[in-house]
Structure 1
Amino acid sequence: MKAHVFYTKALLWCGLLCSLSFFTTCSDDDDDDMAGTFYGPLVTVGQGNARTWVTTNDAGTPTSLGLTFSEQAITGNLGNAMRMYTLALPAQADQTLYDHVMLDWNPQGHDPGPLYGAPHFDLHFYMIPPDQVANIQGSAATDQMPAAQFRPQNYMITPGIVPGMGAHWIDFTDVNNTPGNFAKNFIYGSFNGNFIFHEPMFTLAYLKTLPTIGTQTMDIPQPASYQMAGLYPQRYSFSYNANTKEYTISLLDLTQKQ
């Protein structure tokens, strides 16, 4: 009889403790997995693949995101025609500025040729959905530019609007934006007065040097003010993982602005 009473009391105490700690140890909806790195779907690139990812902290807030290539994606035959790949972001990236990612392979480079004529990749992190990007048309003469306070320091707009992309802004103090010196740079993109993408741009030759030179991390020039509240990357990097044989382009130190 005493054993039965003891067992009953133990069950009651267990139930009480579980109810008091519902949001921690006894809940099926605990937050133990909020920190980590989460991946988007694989997309075939060349003879390999690429996928997006986002890393979150213990509170589930994104701290970095980017794109990772398998080594076969750039060592195999990428083809001699321009290719565009749309990559979805994992659900955890919904808290960031970004809607999706567009990766462009330019085997002959693109205009202006003296600057960007080398085979390279454009990596657009778009803040608007794909259908809006696809509908971008117009000319620099009719396009409204973002207000001066929203433009990053030392950035200037390049001629024209690329259909299905937008206007491109470059850092005129970056040696990579001078003839014969392009390896990698960071571009801002705009349309109708709003910045709509962030873009690391990098040559295939530069990417292939990473196993030798190691990770490179650069600051991202920031504007005086921001057009909308959100998590803005403060740095970006290029790296190679010898164990997984992967190349990664990262937007780092996502920081809340406004």
Structure 2
Amino acid sequence: MVMLDLPGQASATVFDHVMLNWNPHGHEPEILFGKPHFDMHFYMTDMSSTMEIDPATPEYAARATHLPDGKYIPRDYITPPGPLASQLAVPFMGVHWMDATAGMIPGVYDFTQTFINGSWDGNYTFMEPMMTRAWLLTRPTMQEDIKQPQAYQHTAYYPTVYSVRFDHAAQEVDVALGEMILRQKS
């Protein structure tokens, strides 16, 4: 895991930092996300708050099960079935929410790239593009709308699109959350 501070120019956005994870053997649930892939958590909380998501703390289970009001979670996103504290809350990340319309059916779903959202202790805390190494090696170009919630917990600029493109000149992949719109706390 690598934690990246954002530059001062990003201070008007809802984001504080980014956590980049390389998962060479995938991660749980393995039947969905068992392929080697990258996770990019764009956090709306500060790094110290992220690092406090620790199962060794006595309040971990209570904080995991304290979900945000539904109006703050993007449409179609749900927590997968299972105990929030023991299975769905990931240390130093939080509870992961998946798009119910993405067809993530065990044994059928072929993971290449997806967009996850997350929460912790009543707050919508991160947006997470996930993509397999194999898919990135195809030098993809894609852009998708980011599903929006009905209301916002903070006044800031929020992204409305997620894009991935291979920059042939630089020989690198650009992953971006863009087309920011100012949203008012509601």
TM-score, normalization by structure 1: 0.63
Shift of residue 242 of structure 1?
0.9
Provide the alpha-carbon RMSD of the alignment.
1.5
2: CA distance, partners of 1:232 / 1:141: 25
Structure whose residues are more often helix by fraction: 1
Between stretches 130-139 and 195-204, larger displacement belongs to 130-139
Q: Which secondary structure does the structure 2 equivalent of 1:108 belong to? A: coil
**Number of matched pairs:** 171
Structure 1 residues 142, 136: CA separation in 2 closer, same or farther (over 3 Å shift)?
closer
What 5-or-longer segments of structure 1 have no aligned partner?
1-83
Pairing partner for 2:155 from 229, 233, 237 = 229
What letter matches 2:158 in structure 1? Y
Partner of 2:130: 201
Choose which of 140, 143, 148 in structure 1 pairs with 2:65.
143
**Matched ranges for 1:39-78 at <5 A:** none
Q: Secondary structure at the match of 2:75?
A: coil
- Does the alignment pair 1:254 with 2:180? yes
Q: Where does residue 133 of structure 1 map in the other structure?
A: 50
User: Is this contact kept in 1: 2:63–2:121, CA < 8 A?
Assistant: no
Runs of 4+ with >3 A deviation:
none
In structure 2, C-alpha distance between the alignment counterparts of 1:131 and 1:141, rounded to whole Å: 16
Contact 1:140 1:161 survives alignment (8 Å): no
Deviations 1:190-215 (A, max 9, x none): 001101111111111111112xxx42
Q: SS at the partner of 1:95? A: coil
Partner of 2:30: 113
State the shift of 1:142 in Å.
5.4
Shift of residue 132, structure 1, vs aligned partner: 1.2
The 5 Å alignment of 1:149-228 reads 149-158=71-80, 159=82, 160-175=88-103, 177-179=104-106, 180-210=109-139, 214-228=140-154
Residues 94 and 209 of structure 1: CA distance in aligned 2, closer, same or farther (over 3 Å): same
1:139 deviation in Å? 2.8
Mapping of residues 14-93 of structure 1, within 5 Å:
84-93=1-10
